[in-house]
Chain A
Amino acid sequence: EAQVTQNPRYLITVTGKKLTVTCSQNMNHEYMSWYRQDPGLGLRQIYYSMNVEVTDKGDVPEGYKVSRKEKRNFPLILESPSPNQTSLYFCASSFRTESSYEQYFGPGTRLTVT
């Protein structure tokens, strides 16, 4: 089954404790991206990757890191989480086509930082 998986689905952590949210896709997509969803603000792009070893900042990259060492994986790293990073996070992937980007989204990771 074609899918984007994220782990964990729920996470409660404390300020300053490094964490990683994993994202994996099995569709051989070149493009992957991370978003956060907050009430009244919609979806905001954090980072995206056009292909392996190619990443770039989205709209709200501060406080986040990413890496793309393999095509299927695109982990999101919070080196020192803060309460303002409490949010619902989505990973997405797609082929890079002219009609970009008809993305497949993962189920979401709800993160709470206390």
Chain B
Amino acid sequence: DQQVKQNSPSLSVQEGRISILNCDYTNSMFDYFLWYKKYPAEGPTFLISISSIKDKNEDGRFTVFLNKSAKHLSLHIVPSQPGDSAVYFCAARFNQGGKLIFGQGTELSVKP
């Protein structure tokens, strides 16, 4: 049973526009959510995180929104740049422990 789901395998956006990547989860025991970006032939790199007690966290062009009632989080990238083209993974942490659950990933393509 997939506890963290990214239902869109791919997303294509025009340069300069907003990219919105979505993630749904089922477990209320998750206390932190993270987003990672992955380029081909490289390991993932950390992007941004949000605590379950907050509903928004912003870092430059990247903003993560958390809707706990809907068990949904989203990553907004504004403005999108061609260098943002990568696979994005959302992840959730169990209750201050070391266990992390990742989604399947969404491949973002930003076209010039």
Contact = CB atoms under 8 A, between A and B. Distances in A.
A105 B100 contact: no
Please tell me the size bucket of the interface on B. 20 to 34
Interface of B: 6, 32, 34, 36, 41-46, 49, 51, 89, 91, 93, 96, 98-105
A35 B89 CA distance: 13
Contacts, number: 68
A85 interface: no
A35 B6 CA distance: 18
A74 interface: no
Contacts of B32: 99-100
Nearest to B105: A42
Contacts of B51: 98-99
A90 B91 CA distance: 15
